[in-house]
Amino acid sequence: MILRDNFYIKIKFNLRNNMKKVLLIILAGMFALTSAYAQPSFTLGVGLNKGVFAAEGKEDNFDESGSLKTTTVEYGAFEDTYASIYLEMGNEVGSIGLSYQDDVSTPTNVNEVGGLPGDNSATSTVSASFDDVITVYGLINLPMNTYLKAGIVNGDISVNETQKSGNTYKDQDLEGYVFGVGYQHEADAANIRFELLGHTYDDVTANNGVATSGNHNKITVSDMIGANAHISLNKSF
């Protein structure tokens, strides 16, 4: 079982690293291609997104001696609506772009950890959010104003948990990938863009105390995926 799990982790790690290298090469090539034209166009846009996200969460609770006491595993999904802005440089072949999105937050989960019902000292609340998410991406134009999109995502993931102990979690790096298809309706005043995108993210681990000893919790978020519908207005100049 251990050998199989280690093999799975190694394969997963290598696939993600190779995917990042391929995307970086593609983005670098598209940058060179768009820069080669004397006057590439620039596009500035603002959009609205409806996203659905899912992940597996594992929480390990350690006692004062640093020994594992309990483990809880849950799989959950949530949805959120968030805004985004983007800037692109491109030509008739394709574009490269940079986008920034508003924070994405999970619902707050309330757990009774002991004591009488309604006793705030015995209640633990947990929520998480994706903060300061930036995506570097490339678009490849297709016929009939459609296009393919792929990019690299980077940001922070914040775990917000209130406990009687007062321990908190530090923000962790959020890294992942986005891919999908889109359509743009062009008009004189402004262009309207529609996209359907998928997301995949690297695993994240956070500790709310000293990781090697003492009473603390460790949260591991794995198999994070998502999908969102995007609509935006943009102007090329």
* Residues 38, 214 contacting (CB under 8 angstroms): no
Residue 61 pLDDT: 83
Architecture of the domain whose range is 2-236: Beta Barrel (2.40)
Cα 49 to the chain's mean position, in Å?
A: 13
Q: What is the mean pLDDT of each run of 10 residues along the chain (237 residues)?
A: 43 50 62 62 96 91 82 90 95 90 85 52 73 93 95 89 67 93 95 97 83 72 95 96
* The pLDDT of residue 30: 60
Q: Distance between CA 156 and CA 142 in Å, rounded?
A: 33
pLDDT value at residue 139: 94
Q: Please state the domain extents for the chain.
A: 2-236
Q: What is the pLDDT of residue 22?
A: 59
- The pair of structure tokens assigned to 62 is 């350690």
8 Å CB contact between 145 and 163 = no
- CA-CA distances (angstroms) from residue 150 to 39, 180, 181, 221? 24, 7, 9, 23
What confidence score (pLDDT) does residue 23 get? 62
- pLDDT for 179 equals 95
